[in-house]
Amino acid sequence: MMEHIRLPKVENVRLLDRVTPRRSRVGTLYLTATHTIFVENETGVRNETWVLHSLVCSVEKPSASASGCPIIIHCKNFQVLHFVLPRERDCHNVYLSLQRLSQPESYDELYCFSYKPNVDEEERREEWDFLDVRGDFRRMGLPNSLWKLSAVNQHYKVSDTYPADLFVPESATPPVIVGSSKFRSRGRFPTLSYYSKENHAAICRSSQPLSGFSARCLEDEQMLEAILRSNPSSDFMYVVDTRPKLNAIANRAAGKGYENEDNYSNIKFQFVGIENIHVMRNSQQKMLEVCELRSPSMSDFLEGLESSGWLKHIKAILDAGIFIAKAVEHEGVSVLVHCSDGWDRTAQVCSVACVLLDPYYRTLRGLMVLIEKDWISFGHKFSHRCNHQVGDPKEVSPVIDQLLECMWQLTEQFPCAFEFNERFLITIHSHIYSCQYGNFVGNNQRERIELGLRERTHSLWSYLWANKADYINPLYRPDHSQTQRLLPASTAPYCFKFWRGLYNRFDKGMHPRQSIQDYLSAIQEETQQLQKQLASHKQKITQLEQEQGCRSVTQREAMDKSPTAWAYGSDPGVANTPQDYTGGLLTRSPCKPKATDSGLVLPHKDPNPSSETSLSNGSDQESGIDLSCRSPLSEDSNRDPDSDEAAYSAA
């Protein structure tokens, strides 16, 4: 990529603050094969701003002004950088360089193929083996007597956008599966996404049928019948079309469409009305324009957010997921989900339903498995939707952004039900677009194998797991009653929030210095340290008490043998003065290798102690607290600093 750099370095470049353009930082701009780097010139401070070229969404070159020649870089992670260069020629060269560097023309130009962390081949293989999608199906109790692992799509001969390993009903024969695939768009026949081993209800997914206005397919009807029979507790199943009804009807004219209830026995059909990728792309663009307003009024911001329709679309996805989750959990009914091709809205809705149903998918590892299974494995077109390389701009759409926002909205409603925090979702979002790791490169499993991603790139999941301490939600309670069951999510309008942490996270001054979760994490870490110190102190207390008890026994034995003690008869309490024990009458304790400078002599207990004697005893009888263990700050604490008492108090 170095050959595309027309000018590698420009000095005296200003980086403007988006909120306050008059505030600017002066430095040097560098262009490398993978990054644009801005280094400030401020004396004593080396602040650097790095922008990965694969994260650049667009580059603008407005007209020059008296202050210089501007370049505006919009990034896919919603960062906006406004540079002002001193000379027009330099500005033009940087603009042309960035345009080419940010638009790879082939997969080999992506950053993941040049990213070389210091790991050997064995570690690379372990990275890619970290997650096991088939292991997730084993966790669900599969295969069993109702569902089987089918080899029908080995070598991707039935559907080139499906994974090779697919679970289908036990009664579905290969001819039925192949026949159904021929009646479905892109050969994406109904197959299993999630199975509830408690009530045998299942979530299946497919693409739209090629029904047109009247066509039907016996094998496809048999396939749905097999899905119904795989749930013995229900006599019907839902078929959920995630599209608006008008869109589905319009597709009939192209020979596609939706299932006719008259042709499929025991199905209930349901439209949920999620808009297509083009509407979503325009909606997000309108929302981002509102986010980039310099100083919007409250009415401008709220009206702009409302007119974008973004939160309305998030609500539609959540509504669909809630419907499916309730059908599985409360009704015990299986559901078949599809949209047009079954890799956008279908993936969104199935994922939301799984998160609502299964606490496992609310954990760090569980969410990674869910994205690997329902998105990467099932053929979401990441390269097209995320604009990883030069292609049709109409194929770009924020489908995965909407899934991550749905997860965030749910974490806001149920802060104790999710193991991961907001930072985890934002980090995944950044790496989906950065192409630093190979997980999200390519449009389907077959394409990824042909690219050799496992052999040539690294996996994101093991990196996230190695740094999981940064992504733990301090409020997570796995044993909480709310965490163990179907999440009762609400889609009332007042439940939705604007995700400032994602869309405005690069705007300085807009966020608190420390987020609530970061603050709680810090408190939690400090509490753990204090608990460790407390355990250590308790151990020292026990040790000191044992040593003190051993010394008391030794001292009593010495007193029994002492002629001075015998001289006082049966009342040794009168001998408890230092003067009575001068001359080496006390012997060294066998529990202590070295005699202390000042020993503490404990008297024999009087069977009927007076109140004065009680106060002179070594323990508080009501509280059970050894008075010798009181704080050195107490008024009657005149101790030898080298004594055991002083050492204990210091501990």
- What is the number of alpha carbons within 13 Å of residue 520 lying toward its C-beta? 12
Choosing from 75, 112, 339, 350, which is the catalytic residue?
A: 339
Backbone angles phi, psi at 49, to 5 degrees: -120, 115
List 13's β-bridge partners, or say none. Answer: 27
Question: Measured between alpha carbons, how far is 5 from 101 in angstroms, rounded to an integer?
Answer: 8
Which of 255, 257, 271, 175 lies closest to 220, judged by CA? 175
Tell me phi and psi for residue 249, to 5 degrees. Answer: -65, -40
| Cα–Cα distance for residue pair 316/301, rounded to 1 Å | 22
Phi/psi of residue 451, nearest 5 degrees: -80, -15
Is the separation of the CB atoms in 386 and 76 below 8 Å?
yes
What is the rounded CA–CA span in Å between residue 440 and residue 48? 28
Distance CA 293, CA 17 (A): 13
219 is written with which tokens?
Answer: 């094998």
The Cα–Cα gap between 349 and 465 comes to 26
Q: Which of 129, 187, 112, 131 is nearest to 156 (CA)?
A: 187
Backbone φ and ψ of 254, nearest 5°? -95, 15
Distance, in Å, from the CA atom of 610 to the CA atom of 607, rounded to the nearest integer, reads 10
What string of H, E and C letters represents the secondary structure of 135-181? HHHHHCCCCCCCEEEECCCHHHCCCCCCCCCEEEECCCCHHHHHHHH
The owner of tokens 């390519």 is 442
Phi/psi at 205 (5° precision): -140, 155
Of 133, 132, 167, 169, the residue nearest 150 (C-alpha): 167
Q: Is 13 exposed, middle or buried (CB count within 10 Å of its CB: 0-12, 13-18, 19+)?
A: buried
User: What contacts 24+ positions apart, CB below 8 Å, involve 554-561?
Assistant: 554/587, 554/588, 554/589, 554/590, 554/591, 555/586, 555/589, 555/599, 555/601, 555/602, 556/602, 556/604, 557/587, 558/585, 558/586, 558/587, 559/601, 559/604
Task: Give, in order, the Cα–Cα distances in Å from 421 to each of 409, 476, 537.
Answer: 12, 9, 34
Question: Is the CB of residue 427 less than 8 Å from the CB of residue 464?
Answer: yes
> What is each CA distance from 566 to 136, 490, 563, in whole angstroms?
81, 84, 5
Query: Residues near 51 by Cβ (< 8 Å), separated by ≥ 6?
Result: 35, 36, 37, 73, 75, 79, 81
191 bridge partner residues = 205
CA distance 35 to 49: 10
Cα angle 96-100-103, degrees, rounded to a multiple of 5: 140
Residue 485 contacts residue 326 (beta carbons within 8 Å) = no
Let me know if 629 is a catalytic residue.
no
**Sheet (strand 48-52) strand order:** 48-52, 35-40, 24-31, 9-16, 80-85, 69-75, 56-60
Distance between CA 385 and CA 579 in Å, rounded? 92
**Residues assigned a catalytic role:** 339
